[in-house]
Amino acid sequence: MGSLLLWSLPLPSWGLEPEAPTRIALRAARLFDGKRDKTLPDAVVLIEGSRIQAVGTGLPIPAGTRVLDLGDVTLLPGLIDAHSHLLLDLDAQSGDSLGPIFQQSTAERALLGAKLGREVLEAGVTTVRDLGNSGLNGDVALRNAIQRGWVQGPRILASTRALSPHGGQFPTLQSPAQPLIEQEYVTISGVEEARRAVRQAFADGADCIKVIVDNGHNVLSLEELKVIVEEAHRKKRSVAAHTTLDESIRVAVQAGVDSIEHGYSLPDDVVPLMVRKRTFLVPTDGPLEVCDSFDAKAGDVERQRKLKERCRRNLTRAQERLRRAVAAGIRVAAGSDMYLQLPGLTRGQASVRWFIAYAEAGLKPVDILRAATVNAAELLRMQDQLGSVEPNRLADLVAVEGDPLKDIHALKQVRFVMKDGQVVLDAAGPRKQVDAATR
Protein backbone atom coordinates (compact mmCIF):
# COMPACT_ATOMS: atom_id res chain seq x y z
CA MET A 1 0.00 0.00 0.00
CA GLY A 2 2.94 2.30 0.67
CA SER A 3 3.89 2.32 -3.03
CA LEU A 4 0.31 3.15 -3.99
CA LEU A 5 0.31 6.05 -1.52
CA LEU A 6 3.40 7.48 -3.21
CA TRP A 7 1.52 7.98 -6.47
CA SER A 8 -1.19 10.00 -4.71
CA LEU A 9 1.27 12.61 -3.39
CA PRO A 10 1.91 15.84 -5.35
CA LEU A 11 5.27 15.90 -7.10
CA PRO A 12 7.65 18.83 -6.51
CA SER A 13 8.00 21.28 -9.39
CA TRP A 14 11.71 21.93 -8.62
CA GLY A 15 11.13 25.50 -9.82
CA LEU A 16 11.26 24.50 -13.49
CA GLU A 17 9.59 26.72 -16.07
CA PRO A 18 8.04 25.18 -19.22
CA GLU A 19 10.37 25.39 -22.20
CA ALA A 20 9.54 27.90 -24.91
CA PRO A 21 8.54 26.36 -28.26
CA THR A 22 11.46 25.75 -30.61
CA ARG A 23 11.72 28.28 -33.44
CA ILE A 24 13.01 26.95 -36.76
CA ALA A 25 13.37 28.48 -40.22
CA LEU A 26 13.48 26.25 -43.30
CA ARG A 27 15.06 27.65 -46.43
CA ALA A 28 14.67 26.03 -49.85
CA ALA A 29 15.15 26.95 -53.49
CA ARG A 30 11.44 26.36 -54.22
CA LEU A 31 8.14 25.89 -52.38
CA PHE A 32 4.83 24.40 -53.56
CA ASP A 33 2.29 25.61 -51.00
CA GLY A 34 -0.53 23.28 -52.10
CA LYS A 35 -2.71 26.00 -53.59
CA ARG A 36 -0.86 27.92 -56.30
CA ASP A 37 -0.07 26.55 -59.74
CA LYS A 38 3.61 27.47 -59.49
CA THR A 39 6.41 27.29 -56.96
CA LEU A 40 7.58 30.14 -54.76
CA PRO A 41 11.33 30.86 -55.24
CA ASP A 42 13.88 31.43 -52.45
CA ALA A 43 11.33 30.16 -49.93
CA VAL A 44 11.48 30.61 -46.17
CA VAL A 45 9.10 28.86 -43.76
CA LEU A 46 9.11 30.04 -40.14
CA ILE A 47 8.00 27.43 -37.61
CA GLU A 48 7.33 27.74 -33.89
CA GLY A 49 6.67 24.55 -31.99
CA SER A 50 4.40 22.37 -34.14
CA ARG A 51 2.94 25.13 -36.32
CA ILE A 52 3.88 27.29 -39.27
CA GLN A 53 4.09 30.98 -38.39
CA ALA A 54 4.98 32.61 -41.72
CA VAL A 55 5.82 31.74 -45.34
CA GLY A 56 7.38 33.88 -48.03
CA THR A 57 10.17 34.64 -50.51
CA GLY A 58 13.34 35.87 -48.80
CA LEU A 59 11.44 36.32 -45.54
CA PRO A 60 13.45 38.00 -42.73
CA ILE A 61 14.36 35.49 -40.02
CA PRO A 62 13.99 36.64 -36.38
CA ALA A 63 17.02 36.53 -34.10
CA GLY A 64 17.37 33.35 -32.08
CA THR A 65 15.82 31.17 -34.80
CA ARG A 66 17.58 27.96 -35.87
CA VAL A 67 17.99 27.97 -39.65
CA LEU A 68 18.00 24.80 -41.74
CA ASP A 69 19.12 25.59 -45.27
CA LEU A 70 17.85 22.67 -47.37
CA GLY A 71 19.43 23.94 -50.59
CA ASP A 72 18.29 23.11 -54.12
CA VAL A 73 15.08 21.26 -53.24
CA THR A 74 11.34 21.82 -53.47
CA LEU A 75 9.44 22.08 -50.21
CA LEU A 76 5.82 20.91 -50.22
CA PRO A 77 3.13 19.98 -47.70
CA GLY A 78 3.39 16.57 -46.07
CA LEU A 79 1.69 14.05 -48.35
CA ILE A 80 -1.58 12.39 -47.34
CA ASP A 81 -2.59 8.83 -48.21
CA ALA A 82 -6.38 8.70 -47.93
CA HIS A 83 -6.52 4.89 -48.26
CA SER A 84 -3.85 2.92 -46.45
CA HIS A 85 -3.58 -0.50 -44.77
CA LEU A 86 -0.62 -0.29 -42.42
CA LEU A 87 -1.39 -3.57 -40.66
CA LEU A 88 -1.46 -5.66 -43.82
CA ASP A 89 1.58 -6.79 -45.81
CA LEU A 90 0.92 -9.46 -48.43
CA ASP A 91 3.21 -11.25 -50.85
CA ALA A 92 2.07 -10.01 -54.28
CA GLN A 93 2.99 -13.30 -55.90
CA SER A 94 1.23 -15.63 -53.47
CA GLY A 95 -2.28 -14.28 -53.99
CA ASP A 96 -3.00 -15.22 -50.36
CA SER A 97 -5.09 -12.32 -49.06
CA LEU A 98 -6.25 -14.16 -45.95
CA GLY A 99 -2.91 -15.37 -44.60
CA PRO A 100 -2.40 -12.60 -42.01
CA ILE A 101 -5.95 -13.03 -40.73
CA PHE A 102 -5.38 -16.71 -40.01
CA GLN A 103 -1.72 -16.60 -38.98
CA GLN A 104 -1.05 -13.30 -37.16
CA SER A 105 -2.52 -11.86 -33.99
CA THR A 106 -3.68 -8.25 -33.87
CA ALA A 107 -0.66 -7.50 -31.66
CA GLU A 108 1.74 -8.88 -34.28
CA ARG A 109 0.06 -6.86 -36.99
CA ALA A 110 0.23 -3.68 -34.91
CA LEU A 111 3.99 -4.20 -34.51
CA LEU A 112 4.25 -4.76 -38.26
CA GLY A 113 2.29 -1.51 -38.67
CA ALA A 114 4.91 0.31 -36.63
CA LYS A 115 7.57 -0.80 -39.11
CA LEU A 116 5.48 0.05 -42.17
CA GLY A 117 4.38 3.34 -40.63
CA ARG A 118 7.99 4.45 -40.24
CA GLU A 119 8.63 3.57 -43.89
CA VAL A 120 5.59 5.58 -44.97
CA LEU A 121 6.67 8.61 -42.95
CA GLU A 122 10.20 8.54 -44.37
CA ALA A 123 8.73 8.59 -47.91
CA GLY A 124 7.08 11.94 -47.15
CA VAL A 125 3.58 10.69 -46.23
CA THR A 126 2.89 12.39 -42.90
CA THR A 127 -0.82 11.51 -42.60
CA VAL A 128 -2.86 8.44 -43.55
CA ARG A 129 -6.49 7.39 -43.34
CA ASP A 130 -6.15 3.70 -42.44
CA LEU A 131 -9.20 1.86 -43.73
CA GLY A 132 -9.56 -1.43 -41.94
CA ASN A 133 -8.07 -4.90 -42.35
CA SER A 134 -6.27 -4.29 -39.07
CA GLY A 135 -7.61 -7.03 -36.82
CA LEU A 136 -9.61 -6.10 -33.76
CA ASN A 137 -8.92 -2.35 -33.62
CA GLY A 138 -5.18 -2.72 -34.19
CA ASP A 139 -5.21 0.54 -36.15
CA VAL A 140 -6.39 2.41 -33.05
CA ALA A 141 -3.56 0.88 -31.01
CA LEU A 142 -1.00 1.93 -33.64
CA ARG A 143 -2.48 5.43 -33.89
CA ASN A 144 -2.30 5.86 -30.13
CA ALA A 145 1.28 4.55 -29.94
CA ILE A 146 2.38 7.10 -32.55
CA GLN A 147 0.52 9.91 -30.77
CA ARG A 148 2.23 9.01 -27.48
CA GLY A 149 5.66 8.98 -29.09
CA TRP A 150 6.27 5.27 -28.50
CA VAL A 151 7.02 4.76 -32.21
CA GLN A 152 7.48 7.05 -35.19
CA GLY A 153 4.92 7.02 -37.95
CA PRO A 154 2.39 9.11 -39.84
CA ARG A 155 -0.60 10.75 -38.24
CA ILE A 156 -3.35 8.11 -38.46
CA LEU A 157 -7.08 8.49 -38.87
CA ALA A 158 -8.33 5.03 -37.97
CA SER A 159 -11.56 3.41 -39.12
CA THR A 160 -11.51 0.31 -36.85
CA ARG A 161 -13.45 -2.63 -38.33
CA ALA A 162 -15.19 -1.99 -41.64
CA LEU A 163 -18.96 -2.31 -41.83
CA SER A 164 -20.06 -4.86 -44.41
CA PRO A 165 -22.86 -7.02 -45.83
CA HIS A 166 -22.98 -10.72 -44.96
CA GLY A 167 -19.67 -12.44 -45.67
CA GLY A 168 -17.54 -9.40 -44.95
CA GLN A 169 -15.25 -8.80 -47.90
CA PHE A 170 -14.85 -12.55 -48.45
CA PRO A 171 -18.29 -14.10 -49.04
CA THR A 172 -16.87 -17.38 -50.36
CA LEU A 173 -15.44 -18.46 -47.00
CA GLN A 174 -17.05 -21.42 -45.29
CA SER A 175 -18.96 -20.79 -42.07
CA PRO A 176 -16.23 -22.13 -39.68
CA ALA A 177 -13.96 -19.25 -40.78
CA GLN A 178 -16.52 -16.52 -40.14
CA PRO A 179 -15.51 -15.86 -36.49
CA LEU A 180 -12.09 -14.80 -37.77
CA ILE A 181 -13.69 -12.56 -40.37
CA GLU A 182 -15.72 -10.89 -37.64
CA GLN A 183 -12.41 -9.62 -36.23
CA GLU A 184 -12.02 -7.62 -39.44
CA TYR A 185 -15.59 -6.66 -40.31
CA VAL A 186 -18.88 -5.88 -38.61
CA THR A 187 -21.68 -7.56 -40.55
CA ILE A 188 -24.87 -5.53 -40.65
CA SER A 189 -28.37 -6.46 -41.72
CA GLY A 190 -31.00 -3.78 -41.30
CA VAL A 191 -31.12 -0.13 -40.36
CA GLU A 192 -30.78 -0.54 -36.59
CA GLU A 193 -27.79 -2.86 -36.91
CA ALA A 194 -26.18 -0.27 -39.17
CA ARG A 195 -26.78 2.49 -36.63
CA ARG A 196 -25.46 0.33 -33.79
CA ALA A 197 -22.32 -0.57 -35.77
CA VAL A 198 -21.41 3.07 -36.39
CA ARG A 199 -21.88 3.95 -32.75
CA GLN A 200 -19.75 0.96 -31.71
CA ALA A 201 -17.00 2.03 -34.11
CA PHE A 202 -16.83 5.44 -32.46
CA ALA A 203 -16.84 3.81 -29.02
CA ASP A 204 -13.87 1.72 -30.22
CA GLY A 205 -11.99 4.89 -31.17
CA ALA A 206 -12.76 5.35 -34.87
CA ASP A 207 -11.90 8.66 -36.56
CA CYS A 208 -13.88 7.77 -39.69
CA ILE A 209 -16.14 5.01 -40.99
CA LYS A 210 -15.24 2.47 -43.68
CA VAL A 211 -18.13 0.60 -45.27
CA ILE A 212 -17.91 -2.30 -47.72
CA VAL A 213 -20.94 -1.50 -49.85
CA ASP A 214 -20.65 -4.69 -51.89
CA ASN A 215 -18.57 -7.84 -51.73
CA GLY A 216 -19.29 -8.88 -55.30
CA HIS A 217 -22.44 -10.71 -54.23
CA ASN A 218 -24.27 -8.80 -51.51
CA VAL A 219 -24.98 -5.06 -51.58
CA LEU A 220 -26.03 -2.91 -48.63
CA SER A 221 -29.36 -1.11 -49.07
CA LEU A 222 -29.82 2.61 -49.57
CA GLU A 223 -31.64 2.82 -46.22
CA GLU A 224 -28.76 1.13 -44.38
CA LEU A 225 -26.22 3.43 -46.00
CA LYS A 226 -28.25 6.55 -45.24
CA VAL A 227 -28.25 5.64 -41.54
CA ILE A 228 -24.49 5.02 -41.59
CA VAL A 229 -23.89 8.43 -43.17
CA GLU A 230 -26.34 10.14 -40.81
CA GLU A 231 -24.67 8.71 -37.69
CA ALA A 232 -21.16 9.51 -38.92
CA HIS A 233 -21.98 13.04 -40.00
CA ARG A 234 -23.72 13.67 -36.69
CA LYS A 235 -20.25 13.17 -35.15
CA LYS A 236 -18.69 15.25 -37.95
CA ARG A 237 -16.81 12.20 -39.26
CA SER A 238 -16.45 11.05 -42.85
CA VAL A 239 -17.64 7.84 -44.53
CA ALA A 240 -15.42 5.97 -47.01
CA ALA A 241 -17.35 3.59 -49.29
CA HIS A 242 -15.66 0.57 -50.87
CA THR A 243 -17.51 -0.05 -54.14
CA THR A 244 -16.88 -2.28 -57.16
CA LEU A 245 -20.28 -2.51 -58.86
CA ASP A 246 -22.59 -0.06 -60.65
CA GLU A 247 -25.31 -0.74 -58.10
CA SER A 248 -23.08 -0.20 -55.08
CA ILE A 249 -21.53 3.06 -56.25
CA ARG A 250 -25.00 4.35 -57.15
CA VAL A 251 -26.53 3.74 -53.72
CA ALA A 252 -23.39 4.97 -51.92
CA VAL A 253 -23.44 8.33 -53.70
CA GLN A 254 -27.19 8.66 -53.23
CA ALA A 255 -26.73 8.03 -49.51
CA GLY A 256 -24.22 10.89 -49.26
CA VAL A 257 -20.93 9.13 -48.49
CA ASP A 258 -17.87 11.38 -48.50
CA SER A 259 -15.70 9.29 -50.78
CA ILE A 260 -15.90 6.44 -53.25
CA GLU A 261 -12.95 4.11 -52.77
CA HIS A 262 -11.73 2.40 -55.94
CA GLY A 263 -14.91 3.05 -57.94
CA TYR A 264 -13.67 0.88 -60.79
CA SER A 265 -17.26 0.92 -61.98
CA LEU A 266 -18.21 4.54 -62.56
CA PRO A 267 -21.53 4.53 -64.46
CA ASP A 268 -22.29 7.65 -66.48
CA ASP A 269 -25.44 8.49 -64.52
CA VAL A 270 -23.48 8.65 -61.23
CA VAL A 271 -20.86 11.13 -62.47
CA PRO A 272 -23.03 14.29 -62.35
CA LEU A 273 -24.40 13.24 -58.97
CA MET A 274 -20.87 12.95 -57.56
CA VAL A 275 -20.06 16.41 -58.91
CA ARG A 276 -23.23 17.88 -57.42
CA LYS A 277 -22.75 16.22 -54.03
CA ARG A 278 -19.00 17.00 -54.05
CA THR A 279 -18.20 13.33 -53.47
CA PHE A 280 -14.50 12.52 -53.65
CA LEU A 281 -13.12 9.71 -55.77
CA VAL A 282 -10.16 7.92 -54.20
CA PRO A 283 -8.62 5.99 -57.12
CA THR A 284 -6.27 3.23 -56.03
CA ASP A 285 -4.84 2.47 -59.47
CA GLY A 286 -1.21 1.40 -59.70
CA PRO A 287 1.27 1.95 -62.53
CA LEU A 288 1.19 -0.36 -65.54
CA GLU A 289 4.72 -1.49 -64.73
CA VAL A 290 3.38 -3.36 -61.69
CA CYS A 291 1.88 -5.89 -64.09
CA ASP A 292 5.41 -7.00 -64.96
CA SER A 293 5.89 -8.23 -61.39
CA PHE A 294 4.06 -11.40 -62.38
CA ASP A 295 6.94 -13.50 -63.65
CA ALA A 296 7.45 -17.11 -64.58
CA LYS A 297 9.50 -17.84 -61.46
CA ALA A 298 6.38 -17.58 -59.34
CA GLY A 299 4.61 -20.44 -61.08
CA ASP A 300 3.24 -21.67 -64.36
CA VAL A 301 4.32 -19.54 -67.33
CA GLU A 302 0.88 -19.54 -68.94
CA ARG A 303 -0.75 -18.54 -65.66
CA GLN A 304 1.67 -15.62 -65.28
CA ARG A 305 1.00 -14.48 -68.84
CA LYS A 306 -2.74 -14.42 -68.17
CA LEU A 307 -2.23 -12.54 -64.91
CA LYS A 308 -0.18 -9.89 -66.73
CA GLU A 309 -2.81 -9.50 -69.43
CA ARG A 310 -5.63 -9.18 -66.93
CA CYS A 311 -3.63 -6.71 -64.86
CA ARG A 312 -2.96 -4.46 -67.87
CA ARG A 313 -6.56 -4.70 -69.01
CA ASN A 314 -7.89 -3.71 -65.59
CA LEU A 315 -5.45 -0.83 -65.11
CA THR A 316 -6.13 0.54 -68.60
CA ARG A 317 -9.85 0.51 -67.83
CA ALA A 318 -9.19 2.22 -64.48
CA GLN A 319 -7.15 4.96 -66.16
CA GLU A 320 -9.99 5.64 -68.58
CA ARG A 321 -12.40 5.91 -65.64
CA LEU A 322 -10.11 8.41 -63.89
CA ARG A 323 -9.84 10.54 -67.03
CA ARG A 324 -13.65 10.67 -67.29
CA ALA A 325 -13.98 11.59 -63.64
CA VAL A 326 -11.48 14.45 -63.76
CA ALA A 327 -12.89 15.80 -67.03
CA ALA A 328 -16.36 15.88 -65.46
CA GLY A 329 -15.17 17.79 -62.40
CA ILE A 330 -15.13 15.02 -59.78
CA ARG A 331 -12.65 15.83 -57.05
CA VAL A 332 -9.83 13.34 -56.54
CA ALA A 333 -8.02 12.51 -53.29
CA ALA A 334 -4.90 10.34 -53.41
CA GLY A 335 -5.11 6.85 -51.98
CA SER A 336 -2.73 3.96 -52.51
CA ASP A 337 -4.65 1.01 -51.00
CA MET A 338 -1.15 -0.39 -50.59
CA TYR A 339 -1.02 -3.73 -48.80
CA LEU A 340 1.56 -5.57 -50.93
CA GLN A 341 5.26 -6.28 -50.63
CA LEU A 342 6.88 -4.87 -53.77
CA PRO A 343 10.48 -5.96 -54.42
CA GLY A 344 13.05 -3.24 -53.80
CA LEU A 345 10.56 -0.74 -52.38
CA THR A 346 9.61 0.23 -48.85
CA ARG A 347 5.91 0.55 -48.07
CA GLY A 348 6.18 4.32 -48.34
CA GLN A 349 8.00 4.25 -51.67
CA ALA A 350 5.40 1.85 -53.07
CA SER A 351 2.53 4.07 -51.88
CA VAL A 352 4.00 7.18 -53.50
CA ARG A 353 4.49 5.24 -56.78
CA TRP A 354 0.71 4.74 -56.81
CA PHE A 355 0.16 8.52 -56.61
CA ILE A 356 2.63 9.11 -59.43
CA ALA A 357 0.71 6.55 -61.53
CA TYR A 358 -2.18 9.02 -61.85
CA ALA A 359 0.00 10.68 -64.51
CA GLU A 360 -0.56 7.63 -66.73
CA ALA A 361 -4.25 8.60 -66.80
CA GLY A 362 -3.32 12.11 -67.94
CA LEU A 363 -3.41 14.02 -64.66
CA LYS A 364 -1.09 17.02 -64.54
CA PRO A 365 1.60 17.12 -61.83
CA VAL A 366 -0.12 20.00 -60.02
CA ASP A 367 -3.38 18.02 -59.89
CA ILE A 368 -1.59 14.96 -58.50
CA LEU A 369 0.10 17.08 -55.84
CA ARG A 370 -3.22 18.63 -54.85
CA ALA A 371 -4.86 15.20 -54.71
CA ALA A 372 -2.21 14.18 -52.16
CA THR A 373 -2.32 17.43 -50.15
CA VAL A 374 -5.18 19.96 -50.10
CA ASN A 375 -7.84 17.65 -51.55
CA ALA A 376 -6.99 14.78 -49.22
CA ALA A 377 -6.92 17.16 -46.25
CA GLU A 378 -10.43 18.34 -47.10
CA LEU A 379 -11.69 14.77 -47.39
CA LEU A 380 -10.22 14.02 -43.95
CA ARG A 381 -11.92 17.20 -42.63
CA MET A 382 -8.51 18.53 -41.63
CA GLN A 383 -8.11 21.32 -44.18
CA ASP A 384 -7.61 23.86 -41.37
CA GLN A 385 -4.64 21.81 -40.11
CA LEU A 386 -3.03 20.04 -43.07
CA GLY A 387 -2.59 20.02 -46.83
CA SER A 388 -1.04 23.45 -47.41
CA VAL A 389 1.98 25.46 -46.31
CA GLU A 390 0.56 28.58 -44.71
CA PRO A 391 0.39 30.25 -41.28
CA ASN A 392 -1.32 28.32 -38.46
CA ARG A 393 -1.12 24.98 -40.29
CA LEU A 394 0.71 22.07 -38.67
CA ALA A 395 4.37 22.00 -39.67
CA ASP A 396 4.24 18.89 -41.87
CA LEU A 397 6.73 19.46 -44.69
CA VAL A 398 8.63 17.40 -47.25
CA ALA A 399 11.59 18.37 -49.41
CA VAL A 400 12.32 16.58 -52.69
CA GLU A 401 15.06 16.91 -55.28
CA GLY A 402 13.99 18.62 -58.49
CA ASP A 403 10.63 20.24 -59.20
CA PRO A 404 7.58 17.94 -58.96
CA LEU A 405 5.48 20.52 -60.83
CA LYS A 406 7.63 19.81 -63.87
CA ASP A 407 8.30 16.10 -63.24
CA ILE A 408 6.06 14.32 -60.74
CA HIS A 409 8.69 11.57 -60.43
CA ALA A 410 10.60 14.00 -58.19
CA LEU A 411 8.39 12.67 -55.38
CA LYS A 412 10.62 9.60 -55.35
CA GLN A 413 13.62 11.72 -54.32
CA VAL A 414 12.70 12.63 -50.72
CA ARG A 415 15.51 14.41 -48.88
CA PHE A 416 13.81 15.89 -45.80
CA VAL A 417 10.68 15.17 -43.78
CA MET A 418 9.19 17.13 -40.90
CA LYS A 419 6.04 16.21 -38.95
CA ASP A 420 4.53 18.45 -36.27
CA GLY A 421 7.64 20.65 -36.38
CA GLN A 422 9.96 17.71 -35.65
CA VAL A 423 12.60 16.57 -38.19
CA VAL A 424 12.12 12.86 -38.85
CA LEU A 425 14.36 12.48 -41.91
CA ASP A 426 17.29 14.51 -43.15
CA ALA A 427 19.03 12.64 -45.96
CA ALA A 428 21.83 15.19 -45.99
CA GLY A 429 23.00 13.83 -42.65
CA PRO A 430 24.10 16.14 -39.83
CA ARG A 431 23.22 19.60 -41.11
CA LYS A 432 24.83 22.76 -39.89
CA GLN A 433 22.20 24.73 -38.01
CA VAL A 434 22.69 28.48 -38.05
CA ASP A 435 21.31 30.74 -35.34
CA ALA A 436 19.77 33.75 -37.07
CA ALA A 437 21.23 36.02 -34.40
CA THR A 438 24.77 35.13 -35.56
CA ARG A 439 24.26 35.40 -39.31
DSSP-derived secondary structure letter, 219: B
- Please count the structural domains in the chain: 2
347 and 274 belong to one structural domain: yes
7 within some domain: no
The 3-class SS string of 299-344 reads CCHHHHHHHHHHHHHHHHHHHHHHHHHHHHCCCECCCCCECEECCC
CA distance 163 to 161: 7
286 and 238 belong to one structural domain: yes
Q: Rounded to whole angstroms, what are the CA distances from 94 to 78, 97, 297, 341?
A: 33, 8, 12, 11
Could you give the percent of the chain with pLDDT greater than 90?
A: 71
Residue 10's CB is within 10 A of a number of other CB atoms, namely 5
354 within some domain: yes
3 within some domain: no
pLDDT mean over 40-58: 96
Phi, psi dihedrals of residue 259, rounded to the nearest 5°: -150, 145
10 within some domain: no
Nearest to 128 by CA among 56, 73, 80, 178: 80
DSSP-based three-state secondary structure for 253: helix
pLDDT mean over 87-96: 73
Listed residues 379, 399, 417: the one ending a domain: 379
43 and 161 belong to one structural domain: no
Query: Tell me: the pLDDT tens digits for 301-342?
Result: 777 788 888 888 888 898 999 999 999 999 999 999 999 888
**Residue 408's domain spans which residues?**
20-77+389-438
Listed residues 330, 360, 379: the one ending a domain: 379
Please report the DSSP string for 138-156 in residue order.
Answer: HHHHHHHHHHTTSS---EE
DSSP-based three-state secondary structure for 435: strand
Count of CA atoms in the C-beta half-sphere (13 A) of 343: 9
Residue 149's CB is within 10 A of a number of other CB atoms, namely 8
DSSP lists the bridge partners of residue 127 as 80, 155
At residue 337, what is the residue type?
D
Q: Are 225 and 219 in contact (CB under 8 A)?
A: no
pLDDT mean over 106-110: 88
170 and 309 belong to one structural domain: yes
128 and 37 belong to one structural domain: no
427 and 281 belong to one structural domain: no
DSSP lists the bridge partners of residue 53 as none
Query: Tell me: the pLDDT tens digits for 369-401?
Result: 999 999 999 999 999 999 999 999 999 999 999
145 within some domain: yes
Q: Is the pLDDT of residue 134 over 80?
A: yes
57 and 87 belong to one structural domain: no
Cα 189 vs. chain centroid, distance in angstroms? 29
Positions of E strands within 342-404: 397-401
Could you give the percent of the chain with pLDDT greater than 70?
A: 86
Positions of E strands within 49-138: 51-57, 66-69, 73-77, 79-84, 90-91, 125-130
230 and 217 belong to one structural domain: yes
Query: Tell me: the pLDDT tens digits for 9-32?
Result: 555 555 555 566 789 999 999 999
CA distance 21 to 50: 8
* pLDDT given for residue 7 in this prediction: 46
CA distance 334 to 343: 22
321 and 397 belong to one structural domain: no
156 and 264 belong to one structural domain: yes
Q: Report residue 55's pLDDT band, with 50, 70 and 90 as the boundaries.
A: very high
Dihedral, 226, 229, 232, 235 alpha carbons, nearest 10: -90
197 within some domain: yes
Query: Tell me: the pLDDT tens digits for 274-311?
Result: 999 999 999 999 888 888 775 655 557 777 788 888 88
Q: Is the pLDDT of residue 172 over 50?
A: yes
Alpha helices by DSSP H, 123-245 = 138-147, 178-181, 191-203, 222-234
429 within some domain: yes
334 and 243 belong to one structural domain: yes
414 within some domain: yes
At residue 19, what is the residue type?
E
The CATH number of the domain where 357 resides is what?
A: 3.20.20.140
Q: Is the pLDDT of residue 352 over 60?
A: yes
The CATH number of the domain where 72 resides is what?
A: 2.30.40.10
Q: Report residue 6's pLDDT band, with 50, 70 and 90 as the boundaries.
A: very low
72 and 193 belong to one structural domain: no
Listed residues 359, 379, 399: the one ending a domain: 379
